[in-house]
Structures are given as C-alpha cells and as structure tokens.
Structure 1
C-alpha cells in the first residue's frame, strides 16, 4: 500500500504554504487565490492521489461524514433500489452510508437505530416499521437530524417526511380501469395500519365506489408473513367468487407472489383479468404479458432526503413532501 500523501508534501513540492494548499483543496477563499496556483495544487493532488484525512476533518468540523439509512425490508426491490440511490447521492456529497434492514420488525429497527446513533452518524433516513414509531419522540429529544422516507405518521406533524402521494396514485389506477370499461374492480394489499398503505387503499376504493356499486368493488388484505400461503386463495376468490375483471397489487412484493399463481392457474391477462402493479421490478419482464405499473420517482425522493440532511442552508417548503407517480400503461391493463 502506498504511503498516504499529506498537504505538507504537496506544499513542499510546489514551494507554497500548507495553508494555501488547505484552502485550495477545501474550496475556501477561491476568489483570493491565483487561478494558475490553484490549478497546480489540484493537478499535483490528483497526480499523487491525495485523499483527505477524514478523522482529522471529522474532529475539526464535529462531523463524521457518515449517514445512516434503515429500510423496512431490503429484500423488497423497492427498498434495494431506494438504498442504491441514497448511497449514490450521499457519496456525491462526500458522505459514506451505513445502512441496515429492519425487515418490518420494530425491535430489530430499534437495535439498528441504536447502533447508528452510537456510530455518531450526522443524519438518518428512516423507513420506520409499524410498532416502532415511538422512536420518533426519542430522536426529537436527542436532536438527531432525521427524515422519514416512504413512511408517515400523522400524529407527528412537525417531522420531515418524503413520500409518494399514495391516495392520488391509487386513484389514478382506479380511474384507468374505469376508463377502459372494467366493471368489477379489486385491489390486494397488506393487513397493516401504516398510513401510506391505508391511503393507497383509500384512493382506490373511494374512486371505484364513486362509479360502481359496492358489490362490484373488493379489497383483499393479507398478513405479510402469510403472503405466500394466502395469495392463491385471494386470486382464486377474486376471479371465481367475486368475478373481478381488473385487479391492482398494492406492493411489488404482493405482485411477485401473485404473478406465478396467475401463471399456475392458467389465468389469461388481460383477457380473464386486467392487472396493474405498484413499483417496477426486473422480474416483471419475464411475465408473458407486458405489465402496467405505478412508477415511483425513487431517485428524486432519495436525492431530496439526502439534500435535506446535508445542505445546512436548505429549507423545505413543507414538512410533508409528496411526490406524484407515473402510471406506466402496458397491455396488462388494456381492454381487449
């Protein structure tokens, strides 16, 4: 391993002061430094592969230049993509990201949170599982900067949340089905009290019920731990008992469990039933019919979360930021 290059070595080789090298490499007093001199310093620093001393920098600025992320379930494609975008944006700001997955377990979430706090991260981006919302009060008391992403708890009005407009997004799904002339609609969600998923359900149901009789609109809820065991029963009931002609899956985890069952039961999409999924997944491309899906702006949401924690002068216009989604229309939701 090559010896670490210091500012003193750069200064000695160029015959300038260490202070001048420090100003240039840290982007300070740029309007008072000769451009040619600054260029010589930067060129030599690059040539020697100079890397700043992060420990010294942390002690000087009282910052660790690390950020913590806890996702709800890293096995969910939504969160793995979210984590990638957050890490890329954090790195672009000079921060390293430490992250963990709670797997929707409040105790596991709390344990990971305590580890990140002990590591003295400069900020936290959190997808808090149901049952762990008490941690919000603790973080506020500790005055640790944090932002919630993909989760919101209405009882905490003054915390920053970055979320999809779930009501509006699922409303657009129901309206699309109605515009195609489908008459019996349904949606499959998780059995949960999480507000963002309740809003997803409310948007779909209210919109569908405004145009169709109550017996033509159905909502199915599955306990997440029983998803693989229950999904076949739900699909069978939706088609054969409730005679639906259009169905929405409220998470990509539900969609990934349901699509193989649809193939197994030889259900034709969209001839037997139209389908729309939430979020996108590479595995959707393996399905015989191109799938319609709700695409969340993951990169924009991730960038905003990181910027909120790193840009000290930044002030969001609202504590609760909601993004619009795109409804990507493919053959699976079109009337044949």
Structure 2
C-alpha cells in the first residue's frame, strides 16, 4: 500500500513551509501568495493524489465539513434535480453532502434526522414531509443551522425557508391560458395540507374566479395511492363531460400520469385540451407536443440553501424565488399542420 502524502511531504519536496502549503490547499491568503508557487503546490498535490486528513481537520475546527440533506422523496424528479445542485454548491464550498429520503413519511424523516444529528453534520437542508414539522424542535435543541426547502410552516420565520412564490406561479398559468383564448381550465393536484401546495391552489382558484369568471373553478385532488386510476377518471370526465379546454398539472408526478392518459386515449394537445405542467422533466420530450411548463430556479434555490447554512449573514435574508413559464406547443391554439 502506497504511503499517504501529507502537506509536510509536499512542502519538503518543493522547499517551502508547511504553512504555505496549507494556505494554498485551503484557499487562504490567495492575494498574498506568489501565483507560480501556488500553482506548483496544487500541481504536486494533484500529482501525488493528496487528500486532506478530514479527522484532524474536523478536530481542529470543530467541524465535520458535511451538510445533511433530507429530501421528501428521491423518486420525485424535482428532488433528484435539486439534490444534484445542492451537492454541487456544497462541494464548491469544501463541504460534502450526506443524503436521506423520507419518502413523505414523518417517522422516517425523524429517524434520518437523528442519524444526521448524531453524525454532527454542520447544518441541515430539509424538505419536511407533512406531519414532520414537529421534529424540527430536535434540531433547535442542538442549535444546528438548518433551512427548510420547498416546504413552508407557519411557525418558521421566512428567513429559514427557501421556496418559490407558489401563488404567483399559478396566477401566471391561469392568465396564460386566458391570453391564449382558453376559457375553461381545470387543475389536478395531490390531496395535501402542505402550505406551499395550498398557496399554489389558492393562486389557481382565485385567479380563475377573477380572470375567467368561474364561481367554482374546477379543481381536482387525488390521493397518492390512487393516483394513476384517479387521474385517468378525472381527465376523461373533465374533457368529455365538463368540456374543459385546458389542464394544469400541479406537480411533475401528476404531469407524468396525466400526459400518459392523454396519449393513451388519443386526446389531442392542444386541439382538444391545452396543458401546463409544473416543473421541467426530460420525459416530457417523448410527448407528441412540446409541453409548456413552470420552471423553478432550482440552481439558485440550491445555492441559497447551502449559503444559508454556511453564512450567518445570508441566513438572515428573506427571499421568495420567482418561477418562469416556459411556453411551448401544448398551449398554442395555432398549430402547424405539418407537425401532425
């Protein structure tokens, strides 16, 4: 087994001090170190496959240089994407990320939370499942920095939350349908009490009532366990009976199931019904029409979440991210017949 190279070995080989090697490899005092010398140190460290002694580093700084990330459900495309961006940003800051998926189970969330606290992570980024908010007291008890991602709870200060303007996102969707000439819109969502999805619902309901003159906008809710069958029933009823001309799928999970139904029953998009999906997904590309979708600033949200853990000043900031509607063929009343 080859000997593990230390900072001292690198310093000796180059004839410089160990302190100088430490400064370069830890990114300190960069404006006071000769550029050529710094480059030689980094090159030699890479050549010898140098790795810092994380245990010694942690003992010295009282940090583990790890961030715990608990996502609500790893099978959800939104969370797998945001986990990628969080890890990318954390690595840039010299931190590693340990992951856990609660699968929307509050007890599983609590169990993972206890493991991460025991491992002495330096902070936590949490997508808390419904009913899991009561376990946040455990984090507060140990004074561990944390932020809540994609979820909102009344007892938390806005500065501790990284999320989008869900009400505004739905408002833009409904207004877009109206501008495109669609007059009867329905939305399909998961049945939940989660505050951020309730805000998304309120944005749809209130804007539909005001903009389209509907006293009771068509809003359908499905349970996760019955999702596939229920969405098929709802879409067929909405299109064939209610004569809905536009559909708003509230999550990418709903969207994937809904698009499958439209394809299976040869319901023409947008000729029979226009479609807007929440979130972007590569799988949309296999659909006959390009899908209009609500784009969340996942990278920016991820960067903010990591920075709130690591920077006490940024931790105080209160920011709501805005979404962007990416308009494609699925909401265009005028379709090129050559594409049919």
Shorter-chain TM band: over 0.9
Contact 2:175/2:211, CA 8 A, preserved across alignment: no
Q: Aligned partners of 1:301, 1:33: CA distance in 2, in Å?
A: 34
Match of 1:117 in 2: 117
Offset, 1:38? 4.1
Contact 1:70/1:127, CA 8 A, preserved across alignment: yes
1:268–1:38: structure 2 CA closer, same or farther, 3 Å change rule?
closer
Q: Aligned partners of 2:331, 2:197: CA distance in 1, in Å?
A: 22
Between 228-237 and 211-220, report the one with greater CA deviation: 211-220
What SS is found at the alignment partner of 2:212? coil
Q: Aligned partners of 1:266, 1:45: CA distance in 2, in Å?
A: 60
Offset, 1:216? 6.8
Between 148-157 and 267-276, report the one with greater CA deviation: 148-157
**Which runs of 5 or more structure 1 residues have no equivalent in the other structure?**
none
Please say if 1:305 is aligned against 2:305: yes
Match of 1:254 in 2: 254
Q: Aligned partners of 2:31, 2:326: CA distance in 1, in Å?
A: 48
Contact 1:280/1:294, CA 8 A, preserved across alignment: yes
Offset, 1:248? 0.1
Contact 1:69/1:98, CA 8 A, preserved across alignment: yes
Contact 2:85/2:303, CA 8 A, preserved across alignment: yes
Q: Aligned partners of 2:266, 2:73: CA distance in 1, in Å?
A: 31
Q: Aligned partners of 1:236, 1:208: CA distance in 2, in Å?
A: 21
TM-score by length of structure 2 reads 0.93
Q: How many residues align?
A: 334
Match of 1:15 in 2: 15
Q: Aligned partners of 2:87, 2:81: CA distance in 1, in Å?
A: 10
1:46–1:313: structure 2 CA closer, same or farther, 3 Å change rule?
farther
Q: Aligned partners of 2:296, 2:210: CA distance in 1, in Å?
A: 25
Match of 2:323 in 1: 325
Match of 2:332 in 1: 334
1:25–1:209: structure 2 CA closer, same or farther, 3 Å change rule?
same
Q: Aligned partners of 2:213, 2:16: CA distance in 1, in Å?
A: 81
Contact 1:184/1:216, CA 8 A, preserved across alignment: no
- 1:99-152 CA-to-partner distances (Å, cap 9, x unmatched) read 111111111111111111111111111100101110222222221111111111
Please say if 1:193 is aligned against 2:209: no
Q: Aligned partners of 1:3, 1:333: CA distance in 2, in Å?
A: 63
Backbone CA RMSD of aligned residues: 1.8
Q: Aligned partners of 2:204, 2:314: CA distance in 1, in Å?
A: 35
1:75–1:39: structure 2 CA closer, same or farther, 3 Å change rule?
closer
Please say if 1:57 is aligned against 2:60: no
- 1:83-106 CA-to-partner distances (Å, cap 9, x unmatched) read 111111111111111111111111
- 1:189-217 CA-to-partner distances (Å, cap 9, x unmatched) read 11100011011111111111003343672
Offset, 1:34? 5.1
**Which runs of 5 or more structure 2 residues have no equivalent in the other structure?**
335-340
Q: Aligned partners of 1:90, 1:265: CA distance in 2, in Å?
A: 45
Q: Aligned partners of 1:158, 1:121: CA distance in 2, in Å?
A: 23
Offset, 1:175? 0.1
1:8–1:70: structure 2 CA closer, same or farther, 3 Å change rule?
same
TM-score by length of structure 1 reads 0.94
- 1:9-63 CA-to-partner distances (Å, cap 9, x unmatched) read 1222233333333333333445655555444433432332222111110110000
Contact 1:185/1:216, CA 8 A, preserved across alignment: no
1:17–1:290: structure 2 CA closer, same or farther, 3 Å change rule?
closer
Q: Aligned partners of 2:71, 2:156: CA distance in 1, in Å?
A: 19
Q: What is the correspondence of 1:258-297 to structure 2 with a 5 Å cutoff?
A: 258-297=258-297
1:85–1:266: structure 2 CA closer, same or farther, 3 Å change rule?
same
Contact 1:183/1:216, CA 8 A, preserved across alignment: no
Q: Aligned partners of 1:86, 1:43: CA distance in 2, in Å?
A: 28
